[in-house]
Amino acid sequence: MKTDSAAPTTTDVSHIAPREKAEILSQALPYIREFHGKTIVIKYGGNAMTDPELQKDFAEDVVLLKLVGMNPVVVHGGGPQIEDALNKLGKKGHFIQGMRVTDEETMSVVEWVLGGEVQQDVVGLINAVGGKAVGLTGRDGAMIRAKKLKMVDKDDPAKEHDIGQVGDIVSVDPSVVKALQDDQFIPVVSPIGFGEHNESYNINADVVAAKLATVLKAEKLLMLTNIKGVLNKEGELMTELTPRRIDEMIEDGTISGGMIPKIAGALDAAKSGVKAVHIIDGRVPHAMLLEILSDQAYGTMIRSH
C-alpha cells in the first residue's frame, strides 16, 4: 500500500548529485515495466488546468508516460471557462441541485468552449513539449452516445427536474481512441455526447473519464482535483476508500456536492475492472508521475471491495 507523504514544493533538481538522479530514475523502472503498453485515463481539471507552471508539468508528465510505452488518454473539464464565457455574453447561470441548467443557447457555448477553446489549449500544451495530441469530442467516431439526464428531486423522489441538454451516457465506442493510440497519438477528449436525434449533451467530465477507463480496460484512472484527495470529517486524507466507507461518508455529508459524481464514477470504474482508481492532488507538481512511478501516495485510492 502506498504511504502518504508531504507534497514537494519545487521541481528544481539541480542540487541533486548525478548518482542520486540515476538512483531515482532506476527506482521508476519496475513501474515503467509494469505499466508498459497499458492504458492510463487521466481526468484533467482544477488548478492543474489553470496554473501555467502546473499546466506545463501536466503536459510533460503525459508526454513522458507516452514515451516510456504507456497509453495516456486525457479527458478534460472546463466549468470555470464555461462560466467565464457565459458571463461575457451576459447570460446568468441557473443551477438546480448543483447542476447547471443547459438550455440550447448555453449548450452552444459549452460546445465551443469545451470542444474548441479548452480542448485546443490542452492539445497545444501537450504538443508544445513534444507530444502528438489529437482533440476529440464524443461525436468523433460516434464515441459517446447519450440521452437526457433525468434529475430526481432530492426531497421528493416522485418529482423530476428538467435541466436541459445535460446528458447521461448510453454507450461508449472507444474505437477512435484505440486507433489513435496505436498510431502513437495522445487522445484528448471533451465531455460532449450526442443523442438519437443528433442533439448535443454536456456530460460530467468525471463520469466520461470513468466510463472511458472502463471500456478501454484501463490499468489506472487518475482524477486530478484541487484537494489532497478525499478527506474525513477531521480534514485528514483517506488514502484508501471502500464502497461501504463511501456510502457512510455520503450519508453523513462528508462527501458532498461535486465530489459525489467524481467518487461515484471512480467507484463504478473500480467495480467494472479498472485496476486502480486514484483521486490525486493536481496542485502537486508532477503529481501523475509521483503516483504512477513511485511508491508514494498523493491522494485517495478507490477500492472495489
Binding residues: 78-79, 100, 202
| C-alpha of 99 from chain center | 18
Q: Coil, helix or strand for 28?
A: helix
Binding residues for substrate: 78-79, 100, 202
DSSP string, 76-105: E--HHHHHHHHHHTTPPP-EETTEE-B-HH
Query: Which residues lie below 8 Å from residue 296, measured CB to CB, with a gap of 6+?
Result: 2, 3, 4, 5, 290
What the block records as the C-alpha cell of 28 is: 521508476
Instruction: Give the bridge partners for 172, in sequence order.
Output: 144
- Stated as kind and residue range, the H or E segment containing 279 is strand 276-281
Neighbours of 263 (CB within 10 A): 22
What the block records as the C-alpha cell of 139 is: 461525436
Helix boundaries (H) for 89-198: 104-112, 119-128, 175-182
Angstrom distance (rounded) from CA 34 to CA 28: 10
- Stated as kind and residue range, the H or E segment containing 53 is helix 52-67
